[in-house]
Amino acid sequence: MDCIEWWANKNSDGYGVLDTAQARRFGQRMAHRMIYEECFGYIPDGLQVDHICCNRSCVNPEHLQLVTLEENLKLGKERRTHCKNGHERTAENVYVTPQGTYRCQICQRKARTKYRRKQ
């Protein structure tokens, strides 16, 4: 089944959130967590709701699963095939920093060029 997009309010990271009146009363509620709890029940402490589809605004219960923080971070890295600017992640194009974050070489080159032109 395809993603079910949350078209109402979204936060700056693209996750669906309940409207502002409810958020003021109950605190910001993430739509995917609310949907998970409605369909499957309580989310135990220490677990997160992961989007199998990698679509942060998806609220399809079939696309949601419980994972630990470590699993969520690992899965996120494994699932990403392109950088935020659409460049494919290949062995030749990706640099892994000592901290374990991925850097797109094409984006890095463009940023350096832009920086040098400003100087």
| Tally of CA atoms within 13 A in the half-sphere of 19 that contains its CB | 3
Examine the domain organization and report whether 88 and 71 are in the same domain.
Answer: no
3-class SS of residue 30:
strand
Same domain, 86 and 98: yes
pLDDT of residue 20: 59
What is residue 37's DSSP assignment?
H
Confidence of residue 33 (pLDDT cuts 50, 70, 90): very high
Cα 50 from chain centre: 9
Instruction: Tell me the average pLDDT of the chain.
Output: 84
Boundaries of domain holding 87: 82-119
The answer to whether residue 77 scores a pLDDT higher than 70 is yes
Please tell me whether residues 48 and 89 are part of one structural domain.
Answer: no
Q: Looking at the 3D structure of the chain, how many domains does it have?
A: 2
pLDDT (tens digit per residue) in 36-75: 999 999 999 999 999 988 888 899 999 999 999 888 888 8
Q: What pLDDT, on a 0 to 100 scale, did the predictor assign at position 102?
A: 74
Q: Looking at the whole model, is its pTM more than 0.85?
A: no
Please tell me the distance from the alpha carbon of residue 45 to that of residue 64, in angstroms, as a whole number.
17
Check whether residue 37 and residue 65 sit in a common domain.
Answer: yes
